[in-house]
Amino acid sequence: MKVIASSLRKGNVVEREDGKLYVILFAENIHPGKGTPVTQLDMRRISDGTKVSERYRTTEQVERAFVEERDHTFLYADGEGFHFMNPESFEQLAVPESVIGDAAPYLQEGMTVQLSVYDNSAIAIELPQRAIYEVVETEPTTKGQTASSSYKPAVLSNGVRTLVPPHIATGTRIVVMTADGSYVERAKD
């Protein structure tokens, strides 16, 4: 479907003249005092990850590809990639590691994620904002140090290193942000 360049936003997927799909990383409409207004797009080619910068006149037509965004349940990972199941149709989908990227350590069996699917292949993943992991290694708790605001290093059950408050001990389940692995709070369960 053709749309005008100025309507494109971050996360949209477009099909360029080369027939390949690109996901928009950054979009900006520029209106100079003199001359034609333009739309600056920074894009990443989905097939191989190459980044491209392109400028279009704001009224120029661009082919937009519509991507289906649907919840999927993570099942397991093996040599073929990461396997997800559509909870409505029970169809399974294998996603290559290149699409998962740095989200891989945060995937847990049974976790619901949002996959962007185009032409029966996943092109992007969105994890839940927060997830619960167990602290498997950290320094021992020091008595009287709980009031200080200093954090200590810890290793989580998924292998990610993070910083936790001094009162958190080994074996404690904590909530972390999946975007950067930062500590949020002690798990309520």
Residue 151 DSSP label? -
d(CA 14, CA 45): 10
Report the pLDDT value the prediction gives residue 110, as an integer from 0 to 100. Answer: 93
pLDDT in tens, 41-55: 998 888 777 889 999
Q: Note whether 89 and 69 are within 8 A (CB).
A: no
pLDDT tens-digit map of 89-145: 999 999 888 778 788 899 999 999 988 887 777 877 888 999 999 999 998 876 665
Mind listing the pLDDT tens digit for each residue in 60-100?
998 888 788 889 999 999 988 899 999 999 999 998 887 78
Tallying the residues shown for the chain, one arrives at 189
Domains of the chain, CATH where assigned: 2-64 (2.30.30.30), 68-126 (2.40.50.140), 130-186 (2.40.50.140)
Beta-bridged to residue 17, according to DSSP, are none
